[in-house]
Amino acid sequence: MNSSEGSIAARRPRIRWKRLALYVLLPIAVAGVVLWALCASMPGRSWSSALPPLTEDERALAAELRSTVDRLCERGPRNLDHPEALARAADLVQELLEGPTQLPVWRESYAARPFGIDSHNLVLDLPGTRAPREIVVIGAHYDSAGDAPGANDDASGVAALCALARRFAERGSERTLRFVAFANEEPPYFETEAMGSRVHARRASERGDRIVAMLALETLGCYSDAEGSQRYPIQLLALAYPSRGDFVAFVGNLGSRALVRECVGAFRAAASFPSEGAALPEPIPGVGWSDHASFWPYDVPAVMVTDTAVFRDPHYHERSDTPEKLDYERFARVVLGLEPVLTGLATR
């Protein structure tokens, strides 16, 4: 072999590696850009400055949220393994919805177990003034997992639900706002036909209800400024989203992408609080882990509003999920930030 042939032979492995890198890395890069554009790119900018001092309204709301969480947790673990506590919790939620709004709550009852034990979704409709047949559902589950007190999961969501119902009862809306406290979101009923939100979505479809959007309020009280406090179900998401659990997230499937973007845009335009949005494929763990997923089979765009639960909260589904662990000041900022989101959805 002469010197020129040796030089060519030496270059061949490098050429092959360059081609391999081109064939492998380029599709990955393109997929990453597509993923960002389709799933993670959101309107507006997330709040990145220091949080402003609490307003008087935010302080009062923080106290209201704490009171609701305390009262729900005082009932004990709330599920069909503790039926008396679950019944007391249902009565309390009905009281919290009916009292301030002066409107009736109706119970959507169904049998989730044999032996005559019924479950109840608690439903409050605030009729729309211009398009009452078009319904925006806002939901949260009032049951808790196992022996957990369920302060964040999901007494926090129920507290937000009741606070928003009270505030919108005072102002009205063009579309009907339907506030629903769902039963049986937690295992062993999760993703079964005994799950309260599945019952409601199915019966609403059978009735011909025109649900145009759904928001599930799922764990809203856990926030942290520590690096590494936020985790993700797949590593690729960690490249696109923050490592600190100091934000609220709006999460939906690809079919709910427009709703995710609308919610994030409205929240960012009005709230001085960090926020992220994601419209992701349903098989990714966590994307469908709440009541919003029950509405997807009926072609209803539905989004979960969350602190990301298990991907941030160390007390998730534990007996340590108690009221004093929640950050009520940041929780109140989030709830007030949801007001313009609902206002936009409720406007025809």
Class of domain 44-345: alpha beta
**DSSP bridge partners of 125:** 178
The lowest-confidence range among 25-34, 72-81, 196-205, 339-348 is: 25-34
Over the stretch 229-248, which tens digit does the pLDDT of each residue have? Answer: 999 999 999 999 999 999 99
* Of 65 and 7, the one with more pLDDT: 65
What the block records as the tokens of 151 is: 């302060």
| pLDDT band at residue 296 under the 50/70/90 scheme | very high
Q: What is the DSSP letter of 77?
A: S
Rg of the chain in Å (alpha carbons)? 23
Over the stretch 68-97, which tens digit does the pLDDT of each residue have? Answer: 999 999 999 999 999 999 999 999 999 999
**DSSP bridge partners of 105:** none
| pLDDT band at residue 316 under the 50/70/90 scheme | very high
Find out whether 276 and 311 touch, Cβ atoms under 8 Å.
no
d(CA 155, CA 331): 12
Q: Does residue 255 register a pLDDT over 80?
A: yes
pLDDT of residue 13: 59
| pLDDT band at residue 4 under the 50/70/90 scheme | low
* Of 7 and 203, the one with more pLDDT: 203
d(CA 45, CA 345): 20
| pLDDT band at residue 1 under the 50/70/90 scheme | low
Q: Does residue 140 register a pLDDT over 70?
A: yes
Structural domain boundaries in the chain: 1-41, 44-345
Find out whether 224 and 312 touch, Cβ atoms under 8 Å.
yes
d(CA 184, CA 198): 10
Find out whether 169 and 213 touch, Cβ atoms under 8 Å.
no
